[in-house]
Every structure is written in structure tokens, then in C-alpha cells.
Amino acid sequence: MLVQGGIPAGGERDEDAFLTKSSFDTTVGLWRAPFGMEKINARVVRKSAGCLNYGAAFNFQELSLVPDEKSAKKHEKTALHPTPPEVVQKMIDAGRLPKPGMGPTPELRAKTRFLSVLVAEADGSDVTSTVAISGGEAGYEDTAKMVVEAALALASFPAQSSCTVHRATVGGVPGLYPSV
């Protein structure tokens, strides 16, 4: 069961703030930018971690890794000024966006890919664990698989200590998965 919420009992901390500014990450050589689903996903993950007693210091942050500053600034703009609902509706009515429930065409889903990089850092330690997950179209094709795998992982391997998890979604990175 996923429970909405996600603010720690002691209140919101600096590390709980959603990413709104982009920056260049010298470790991976890419730009870190806001990710559109972070405001939903982070709350779900944090609340679930709280229900499973992952510890008060547990945190989850989700961001996009993009190849250039121009793309990073576009992500920033979208995070700070999302498209108003009336504009989205006009785009749907004009056929520029799919109607609710329609989703991308099978052809578009067939050529769309994702890559997620998860980094876990243990508190009070230099230990960092990184894993990369890739697959098909994430919005429709692989979401159900990810939800089941995440639930099994959380149920099977409860945390023994506090940690911070960073998830980066990579799109439009040359040599990885091009944006469609």
C-alpha cells in the first residue's frame, strides 16, 4: 500500500526540498535538473519508508540528468512554472496531446526507453551503492513492473540503517537513451 504524505515527523528539512535549480555535476559530466514527477514520487517513497521504519534520516530525491544547460533550464522553467490546466486542455482539444487514458501510440512506446540511476549513501559512512535500471517505455510499459519490484524489495529487505537515495532519470543523453 502506498500512503500519501512524506514530511518527516520533525518537520521538513533542507534535504527534503524539491529540486528547482539546475547545476552541472562534475562526477557524471551531465546537468542535474528538476524532474517533473519528483513532487509525487518523493512523497510516496518517503511515506512508505517511514511506514517501514527506514529511520528519521532517510531521504529520497529524484532529478533528471541532461546533456546541456539549455535542456536543464527548460526543466527548471517547467518545475517552477508548470503548464496551466486550461492550456493543457486546449492542447488536448487541438490534438497536440493525447486525451486522458489514451497515452502514447504503440509505435512511440516501442521506440521509447528509460535509464534510471539510483545512488544510496549511508549516513556516517563513505559507503555509496549505485545501480542503473533501464527498460522500455516507463510511463505505460514498465511502470507496473517497477511498482511490483519496488514493493518486493521494500518488503524483503527492510533498511537496517538510515540512508539517502537519489534517483536520476536520464533522457536525451548521447550514447544512452535519446529523447523521443
Buried b / exposed e along 63-91 (16+ C-beta atoms within 10 A): bbbbbeeebbeebbeebeeeeeeeeeeee
Q: What is the mean pLDDT of residues 98-120?
A: 83
| 18-22, 52-56, 84-88, 106-110, range with the lowest pLDDT | 52-56
pLDDT of residue 21: 92
H/E run at residue 66: strand 59-66
User: Distance between CA 179 and CA 109 in Å, rounded?
Assistant: 12
The pLDDT, as a whole number, for residue 99 is: 87
Q: Model-level pTM greater than 0.85? A: no
Confidence bin at 156 (pLDDT 50/70/90): low
pLDDT, mean of residues 114-119: 80
